[in-house]
Amino acid sequence: MPNLNVAVIGSPDYTKSLGKKSTASDITFYDLKRDDITVSLAEPTKYPEKLASLFFATSLADVAIVVVEQIGPVFGESVIMLDCVGVKKGYIVTKGYITKEQIAPLIKGTVLEGYTVLDDDPILLRERLLAQANEIERGSMVDSVGSVAVDHYFDVKGVGTVVLGCVADGTIGKHDAVKVLPLGREAEIRSIQKHDDDFDTAVKGDRVGLALKGVSVNELDRGTVLSNDEKLITRRDITARAHLVKYWLNPLKEGMVVHIGHWMQFEPARLVSVGSDADWRNPELRLELQKDLVYLPGSKAIITYLEGGKLRIIGSLDLH
C-alpha cells in the first residue's frame, strides 16, 4: 500500500475538497484512498497564528499543494518554510486573479520553482495525487529498524495507548520493542494500522496508528519518537552550522530564544554562542534546548524566531 504525504497550504479548508477529514487539531488530516493507494493530506489549521502548525504540516511531506488566493506575507513565509524543509515536489493552485507570471519572481531560486502550476480543479488534483502515490517505491521490510514521529496520542477503551504518526525513517513491525524518546522508556508495538486496515509492517512514509504496551498517554507528547534505531541521537546541547535565509537581515546574537523544528518536535532553545566567522549568514551555533532533540546524524532542522514579525523563519541547521 503506497502512501503519499501531502501538505496543503494557503487556503483554510481547501483540503476538504480533496479528501475525507480524520484527525483534527492545530494540524488537520484528511484521507484520500482508492483500492490500496492512499494519500495523507495535512492542513496547518492554526497558521498563520502559530508557525509551528505550518512546520508540522510540512515537516514529513513528500509533496506540497500551495493554494494562492492573494500574495502577501503569509504566502512569502510559506514559500520560505517549504524551501527550508526541502519539499521539492508540489503544485501551485491559483485562484481569483492570481497568475503564474505574478508568482514566478517570488518563488525563483526556491523549491517551488519546480512545482506544477494548476488552475483550481480539485478533481484533477485528486487524480494527480493518486497517480503520484501509485508511483512511490517505498523501502522493503529487510529488518525491523525504524522510527515513528508521533503527532497525536490518546487512550482507547479496551485497547490502551494509541498513537498516530508517520514512519520517518526505516521500517517497523508488529511486536517490535521500541524506545520512547526522549522519555527513555521502552514499549512494544501491539498492532499497526494504516488507513484503518491492519498490517504487520510499515515503512518510511506510511501514516500509522499504533497500539502500544508499556507506556501511558500521560507520558507522551507531540514529537515523541518511537524507535529501535541505535543510530538515533538524543541531545539537549547542540552545536550545528546554520544557514540563514537571504531575507533575514541581521546576524544572530547570543541569548536569543529561538525554536528548533525537526520531525514532529518544535522546541525552544537559547543561543549560547554564535560563531564569529566572516560569513554571518552561515554561523556555527551552540544551542541549549529545554527538551532533548531526537534526530539521526546528518539530519536537517529548521530554526525560527517567533518574535520576528512578518518573517519568523531564520533558516536551517545541519545536525551532526
Q: What global pTM score does this model have?
A: 0.95
Judge whether residue 302 has pLDDT over 60.
yes
At 241-285, the pLDDT tens digits run 999 999 999 999 999 999 999 999 999 999 999 997 778 999 999
Q: Which three cell numbers stand for residue 173?
A: 513491525
Q: Taking the CB of residue 97, how many other CB atoms lie within 10 A of it?
A: 8
At 51-80, the pLDDT tens digits run 999 999 999 999 999 999 999 999 999 999
Domains of the chain, each with CATH number or no CATH: 3-134 (3.40.50.300), 146-227 (2.40.30.10), 233-318 (2.40.30.10)
Name the band, by pLDDT with cuts 50, 70 and 90, for residue 1. low
Q: What percent of the chain is predicted at pLDDT more than 70? A: 98
At 94-115, the pLDDT tens digits run 998 899 999 999 999 999 999 9
At 113-148, the pLDDT tens digits run 999 999 999 999 999 999 999 998 765 555 679 999
CB 207 within 8 A of CB 219: no
pLDDT at residue 143, as a whole number:
61
State the sign of the Cα–Cα–Cα–Cα dihedral 29, 1, 147, 272. negative
